[in-house]
Amino acid sequence: MAPIRVALIGLSCSGKSVVSWASIAHLPYLLSARGQSKFKLVALLNSSVDAAQKSIAHFKLPSDTKAYGSPDDLAADPDVDLVVCCTRVDTHADLVRPSVAAGKSVYVEWPLARTPKEAEELVELARKSGSKTVVGLQGRVSPLTGKVKELLEEGKIGKVLSSQVQAYVGVTSMGMPAGFGYFFDRKVGGNLFTIEFGHAIDMVEYLLGEPTGTTAHFQLQHPTMNLFNPVDPMSPVPAVKSDVPDLIVVTGTLPSSSYVADNATLQLRLDHGQPFPGDPLHTWTIVGEKGQIRCVSTGAQTLQMLVGEKPPTIQLYEYPAMPGPPGTKVEAEDVEWKWEAWQEEVPVTARNIGSLYEAFAEGAGYPTFEDAVKRQGQLDDMWKDWKA
């Protein structure tokens, strides 16, 4: 079977970028032996042809890699099968719309678009053109997610009675790198709520279901956010005003299922600040009739990243049949989860992304634009009436 021919939007070598998600999360898989057995990177689309050519040279891509500066020109290329967009959220729709209309397969990082309306328009366009779509909700294909699902389906903790997520972004008094200043401008569409909280709630609801009776509480604790130059932290950078909530608390009732009890409670809390010393950045607890599952990350505010000096952990606590005498030591069991061999050959940031590519190549098991519209609509309903 011939490799799927890929065009990558947003593979930047510009010093203006804090981080190029395309370079750290997509390129390693696409250039790996595993990736090249199924995909072939044939084109780049950047802000100009010259910028694309510079990236081709910088990343030492083959000399026949095509350079584009126009979304329309890329869409007209018959030698591109899959267009992958890794740019800032407010550019997504304009960059991929021509390729969706042309019927190409299109993968867009999460969030799909700046607003639910833009996302819905892309879905409708894909339906008309027959475009196959992928959205980067990578937590769904994480091996950690798979292991938790396995524990739930095996009935290790009985039916789920409640689930809680507590996460911190870990921002210090220095604030955020200057390149992330747009995170505090709600109209851009990419921020703490839509990105970090969006990933967190999608991972939970993928396993436990969509809650009803949802209530959301938002607070803007830091209406002015400090920024710093990551290259020269002592160089002054103007602070920015924020209209994005930096404390988010959501509760709801989970739907009953084969492993979720009636009226089970869901609670998620995401704070822009730091955890108490010694506490992890992210803790996800699932309480059941017979025990508990706890997932912990010390290196990232969301579990789908799976980064840090110590990988996220899963622990299983099965309640003892009979309580012991006072002072009896009770321990939880560490549950092993692991990467596949091919995933260990690429950086951690590229492993779940690689799994999305793998699922697309196999033709099933990946989230689509329709999934993105559902999640963006849910988030929008939570905060549409909130004002900073």
Whole-number pLDDT of residue 70: 98
* Same domain (yes/no): 90, 161: no
Listed residues 315, 335, 355: the one ending a domain: 335
Tell me the average confidence (pLDDT) per consecutive run of 10 residues in the chain, 388 residues long: 95 69 96 98 97 96 97 98 97 98 98 97 98 97 97 98 96 84 94 95 97 96 90 85 96 98 98 94 97 93 75 94 73 94 95 97 97 97 85
For residue 368, being part of any structural domain is answered with: no
Nearest C-alpha neighbor of 225 from the set 275, 281, 183, 169 = 183
* Same domain (yes/no): 74, 170: no
* Same domain (yes/no): 228, 100: no
Whole-number pLDDT of residue 81: 98
d(CA 225, CA 333): 41
Instruction: Give the residue numbers spanning the domain of 318.
Output: 141-335
* CATH number of the CATH domain containing 63: 3.40.50.720
Query: Is residue 115 within 8 Å of residue 194, measured between CB atoms?
Result: no
* Same domain (yes/no): 247, 114: no
In the sheet where 313-318 sits, what is the strand order? 212-219, 247-253, 260-271, 160-168, 282-288, 291-297, 313-318, 333-335
For residue 351, being part of any structural domain is answered with: no
d(CA 228, CA 172): 11
- Per the structure, the count of domains in the chain is 2
Whole-number pLDDT of residue 145: 96
* Same domain (yes/no): 38, 152: no
pTM of the shown model: 0.95
Residues contacting 267, CB < 8 A, separation 6+? 162, 163, 164, 165, 249, 250, 251
Whole-number pLDDT of residue 128: 98
* Same domain (yes/no): 91, 150: no
Whole-number pLDDT of residue 325: 72
For residue 92, being part of any structural domain is answered with: yes
d(CA 236, CA 226): 10
